[in-house]
């Protein structure tokens, strides 16, 4: 039946409660029996915990300056990656460079067939020369029109004066006025012709520049020194605008990219020294060149970039790396992890022994975990930490400390 296991469990629970929580009362009722069964300790003393403070093991610990570096997981990235694409159409007439080749700035990667572009350039230059030749002719016509206008003004003024004195008819005045208006119109027309000639020069210059730029687009060159990640376009290939010629990587300097959590981002500063160890075992050093001001919406982390020198190009794009960024040091204690405990509110901390041999609880912050223990902050510079028995005492209780040297 199931009732028997239930009764046994209740009985065992009752016995445990009596021996744990009512042990003092039982000892008071049976003092003689307790004395008979008491066993002598290592030094001949009675082991009765009821008669005195509880014995605990205590370590004297001193704070030390600890380098609180921030460790990130990241990868290497090329400082610059450029896909060189055609800006015009044409057949490739240059021999291709193979991927992995080193190129300098200005090296030719792809050359396209000029076809009729050189003839178009010659035609544009000829039109520019023709437009320039029209300017002196237009200027001469303007000067001629201005001279004719001056003559018409003189004739009009003379006719008007003679008519006022009665020596000329009004028809003569009207004829000279019409001649003056015609000469003014001729001046305006000549001025417009000059402006048109000058505009023709600018248009011809633009056509020449466009033809020259079109010829420049036939040569696709490396914008910086680097390594070809892809083969250049094969000879005879037809490239349309936007077609890929080659991809160039700049590997010196190299970037190390990692992501720091929002809890540690305040400890990373631009310009801070950093070291990294790649998956291949290479160790490099550099400094923080960029710290993002905006967190990733998915991971809530901030991008960190470290620039390192890579003159021999041994670092490759995309290698996994463990990055360590230097941060300001902190005073901390190295203590066994087993000494950590929780108070009634669930706060992580340590139980210490004060000058009156009473127990106090101090909250701590975990700085770093090491094989020799954990580095903790929040403690005074000198602390007596209970490392054995801290779970059996509470704050304010008097204890009998037994001191032990801490091997650090």
Do 381 and 63 meet the contact criterion of CB atoms below 8 Å apart?
yes
Of the ranges 40-44, 51-55, 176-180, 277-281, which one carries the lowest mean pLDDT score?
A: 40-44
Q: What are the tokens at 248?
A: 């160039």
CATH of 49-67+329-408, one of 3.40.50.300, 3.30.390.50, 3.40.50.12780, 2.40.420.20: 2.40.420.20
Give the pLDDT band (50/70/90) at residue 108.
very high
pLDDT of 339 > 70? The answer is yes
> Angle, to 10 degrees, between the axis of helix 117-165 and the axis of helix 170-216?
170
**125 Cα distance to chain centroid:** 49
Q: What are the tokens at 98?
A: 């193979």
**% of the chain exceeding 90 in pLDDT:** 41
Return the pLDDT at 168.
65
Do 125 and 210 meet the contact criterion of CB atoms below 8 Å apart?
no
Return the pLDDT at 406.
53
Name the DSSP class of 61. E
**Domain 82-112+220-244 in the same topology as domain 49-67+329-408:** no
Q: CATH code for 82-112+220-244?
A: 2.40.50
Superfamily of domain 247-328: Efflux pump adaptor protein, beta barrel domain (2.40.30.170)
d(CA 195, CA 98): 54
| Mean pLDDT, rounded, for 129-144 | 87
Task: Write the CB contacts of 29 (distance below 8 Å, at least 6 apart in sequence).
Answer: none
pLDDT in tens, 178-232: 888 888 888 888 888 888 888 888 998 999 999 999 999 999 999 999 999 999 9
**79: nearest Cα among 221, 220, 225, 222:** 225
Report field, pTM of the whole predicted structure over 0.75: no
pLDDT in tens, 9-42: 777 777 777 666 666 566 555 544 444 444 444 4
**% of the chain exceeding 70 in pLDDT:** 89
Domain map (residue ranges) of the chain? 49-67+329-408, 82-112+220-244, 117-216, 247-328
Return the pLDDT at 345.
87
Do 384 and 400 meet the contact criterion of CB atoms below 8 Å apart?
no
Computed over every residue of the chain, the mean pLDDT equals: 85
| Mean pLDDT, rounded, for 50-74 | 83
Q: What are the tokens at 188?
A: 């305006």
């Amino acid at each position: 039946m199931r009732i028997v296991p239930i009764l046994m469990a209740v009985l065992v629970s009752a016995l445990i409660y009596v021996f744990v929580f009512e042990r003092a009362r039982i000892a008071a009722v049976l003092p003689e029996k307790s004395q008979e069964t008491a066993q002598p300790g290592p030094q001949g003393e009675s082991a009765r915990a009821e008669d005195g403070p509880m014995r605990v093991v205590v370590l004297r610990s001193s704070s030390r300056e600890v380098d609180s570096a921030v460790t990130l997981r990241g990868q290497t990235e090329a400082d610059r990656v450029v896909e060189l694409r055609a800006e015009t159409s044409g057949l490739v007439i240059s021999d291709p460079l193979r991927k992995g080749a080193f190129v300098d700035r200005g090296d030719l990667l792809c050359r396209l067939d000029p076809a009729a572009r050189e003839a178009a350039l010659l035609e544009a230059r000829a039109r520019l020369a023709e437009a320039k030749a029209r300017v002196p002719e237009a200027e001469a016509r303007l000067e001629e029109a201005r001279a004719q206008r001056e003559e018409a003004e003189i004739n009009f003024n003379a006719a008007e004066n003679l008519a006022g004195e009665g020596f000329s008819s009004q028809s003569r005045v009207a004829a000279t006025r019409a001649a003056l208006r015609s000469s003014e119109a001729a001046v305006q027309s000549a001025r417009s012709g000059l402006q048109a000639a000058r505009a023709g020069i600018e248009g011809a210059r633009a056509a020449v520049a466009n033809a020259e730029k079109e010829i420049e687009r036939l040569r696709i060159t490396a914008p910086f020194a680097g390594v070809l990640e892809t083969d250049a376009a094969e000879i005879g290939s037809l490239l349309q605008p936007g077609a890929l010629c080659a991809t160039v990587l700049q590997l010196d300097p190299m970037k190390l990219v990692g992501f720091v959590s929002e809890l540690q981002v305040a400890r990373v500063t631009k310009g801070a020294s950093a070291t990294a160890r790649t998956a291949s075992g290479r160790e490099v050093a550099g400094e923080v060149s960029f710290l993002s001001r905006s967190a990733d919406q998915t991971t809530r982390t901030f991008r960190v970039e470290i620039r390192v020198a890579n003159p021999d190009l041994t670092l490759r794009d995309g290698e996994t790396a463990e990055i360590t960024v230097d941060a300001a040091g902190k005073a901390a204690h190295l203590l066994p992890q087993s000494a950590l405990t929780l108070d009634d509110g669930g706060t992580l901390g340590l139980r210490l022994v004060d000058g009156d041999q009473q127990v106090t609880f101090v909250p701590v912050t975990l700085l770093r975990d090491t094989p020799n223990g954990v580095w903790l902050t929040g403690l005074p510079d000198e602390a007596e930490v209970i490392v054995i028995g801290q779970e059996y005492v509470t704050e304010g209780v008097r204890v009998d400390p037994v001191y032990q040297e801490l091997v650090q």
